[in-house]
Chain A
Amino acid sequence: DTEVTQTPKHLVMGMTNKKSLKCEQHMGHRAMYWYKQKAKKPPELMFVYSYEKLSINESVPSRFSPECPNSSLLNLHLHALQPEDSALYLCASSQLYREVTEAFFGQGTRLTVV
């Protein structure tokens, strides 16, 4: 299994809602990432987890809250989002974040905030 699986594929939420995005991989990768991608733009790094610990937070607003319950799962909890947070949210994983490796990306969750 060489896939990163993200659920849901699409999500529409109101600005007062609380929702979560999920990401799963079974490749034994110890680094997992959240990226945000606006249309026709490159992905922007949000968070990096290494060995289930948060290693990088790219000054992301607190309305985005990541969680890594175990080595295979990564969540992104959303609360009180703004319409400008509408984007494709990508999860990725790699063997280790400190070594030369490629990142496998999920298909993304397309989020619309209304």
Chain B
Amino acid sequence: AQRVTQPEKLLSVFKGAPVELKCNYSYSGSPELFWYVQYSRQRLQLLLRHISRESIKGFTADLNKGETSFHLKKPFAQEEDSAMYYCALKGRGSTLGRLYFGRGTQLTVWP
């Protein structure tokens, strides 16, 4: 069964500190994983997709199939990074068209 786990509901760091938001998944086959961000009162928007191996707003995420993880990292957090972050897994086969979201991690970056 497809499942995404974000173990931390809340995460707080100080500005300039490194941040890592954890995401683990359960999926048989090659997963397609995404990170979405939702700033306060703004639309949910795509931050990263693993196939692109890109860095957006200083964030990177590497797929580790051995550990079934897709953690989101940033070396130096900024106050404007404070938001809700969702890890998501795209369904395949009989679950095409579905995005399986984790419960989300609320990141707060203190000044």
Name A's B-contacting residues (CB within 8 A).
31, 33, 40-43, 45, 48, 50, 55-56, 90, 97-98, 100, 102-108
Contact = CB atoms under 8 A, between A and B. Distances in A.
A42 B97 contact: no
Given A55-B97, A97-B96, A103 B46 contact: yes
- Interface size range of chain B in the complex: 20 to 34
Contacts of A100: 32, 49, 51, 90
Contacts, number: 47
A100 to B, nearest CB: 6
8 contacts: A41-B104, A90-B43, A100-B51, A102-B49, A104-B46, A105-B44, A105-B45, A106-B43
B109 interface: no
A97 B43 CA distance: 20
B37 to A, nearest CB: 11
Contacts of A104: 46
B30 to A, nearest CB: 10
